[in-house]
Structure 1
Amino acid sequence: WQVGGLGPMAGQAHHFRLYAPEKIPYAVSRYTNEVHRLYGVMNTRLKDNEYLAGDYSIADIACIGWAKLWERQGQDISEFPHFQRWLEAVKARPAVQRGLMVNAEERAKHDLSKDKAAQGVLFGQRAR
């Protein structure tokens, strides 16, 4: 679900909302709305479950990286109270906190929305 849904859709939301050289309203709306739908799916699942697969699992670990960036995806998580509870619970886990700190100092030095050299490497490449 994360690999075929949340990851790709959140990634597209990030790209069109933050990095695209021109703002394309349809693309921004399309991916922002799709992430909203996916957070709704998570919220429904989390209504009766502490974690996505019942117990804490790789499902939670796989989703936290995208879920913690909800603001960048144009979301208001107050609409998703079960998702919000889950997000705080997962982020509070010591191992997750340690994982989120990996390379944090280096990441803080870069603003991809302004780093044209990095954008050139990450966006617009084609096969030979």
Structure 2
Amino acid sequence: MIDLYTWGTPNGRKVSIMLEETGLDYTTHPIHIGKDEQFAPDFLKVSPNNKIPAIVDNETGLSLMESGAILLYLGRKTGKFLPAGEGEDYWRVMEWLMWQMGGIGPFLGQAHHFLHFNPGKAPYAEERYGKEARRLYGVLDKRLEAAGDYVAGDYSVADMAIWPWIARFEWQEIDLGDFPRVKDWYVRIAERAAVQRGYKVPDESAEIPMP
């Protein structure tokens, strides 16, 4: 049994989607970041950086923070959505997972802050992060042109890491029609039953935005 500490953010949804895809049993502990619950001492014991998501694997006693580390752990634990060994297919998944962690997450997060939550307050920042969002979408579109249905061959933790950030395309002022391969990939993943279930964790009322 996995204890999942999460909220309805792109990083949180990466892990709930992975848990649904793998079929692991888990219990959800909502951490309401709007109420600063991430700073509670009990949560700090699980996630020293005061960020969601975090997990505790009750079979092993291991606790983990950082969504990328959690995806890799669950992939290794279940043997699913992460290639075995260290061949080219493994490193291709790692490449695009790290691209999400180093690019998509940080820069689209800044786009959310300036374009969605604070419009008009910092024109330079809005322009900078808006342009970078479009550049990153372009990179993803070209990658999918080369790779096919998914970013690293088969559906993997790399897709699960990237997809929840693209699900906020409206916050980033992105028209998915400008990136047709991204749009097709996004819809393809959105139609997966496990993704639909994982998106609703911990808020059952959440609906996947569709282009």
Residues 151, 159 of structure 2: 8 Å contact kept: yes
- Alpha-carbon distance between aligned partners in 1 of 2:166 and 2:120, rounded to the nearest angstrom: 25
Higher helix fraction (1 or 2): 1
Number of residue equivalences: 108
Residues 39, 80 of structure 1: 8 Å contact kept: yes
The equivalent residue for 1:2 is 100
Structure 2, unaligned runs of 5 or more: 1-98
- Deviation per CA, 1:41-73: give whole Å up to 9, x if none: 000011131101111000100011100111110
Instruction: Classify 1:16/1:58 alpha carbon distance in 2 versus 1 (closer, same or farther; 3 Å).
Output: same
The residue identity in structure 2 corresponding to 1:86 is W
TM-score normalised by the chain length of structure 1 = 0.78
- Alpha-carbon distance between aligned partners in 1 of 2:197 and 2:205, rounded to the nearest angstrom: 15
Aligned CA-pair RMSD: 1.8
Residues 200, 206 of structure 2: 8 Å contact kept: no
- Deviation per CA, 1:12-69: give whole Å up to 9, x if none: 0000112238611110111011010000000001113110111100010001110011
Structure 1, unaligned runs of 5 or more: 109-128
Residues 17, 23 of structure 1: 8 Å contact kept: no
Higher strand fraction (1 or 2): 2
Larger Rg: 2
Give the fraction of aligned pairs with identical amino acids, expressed as a percent: 47
Residues 199, 206 of structure 2: 8 Å contact kept: no
2:121 is aligned with 1:12: no
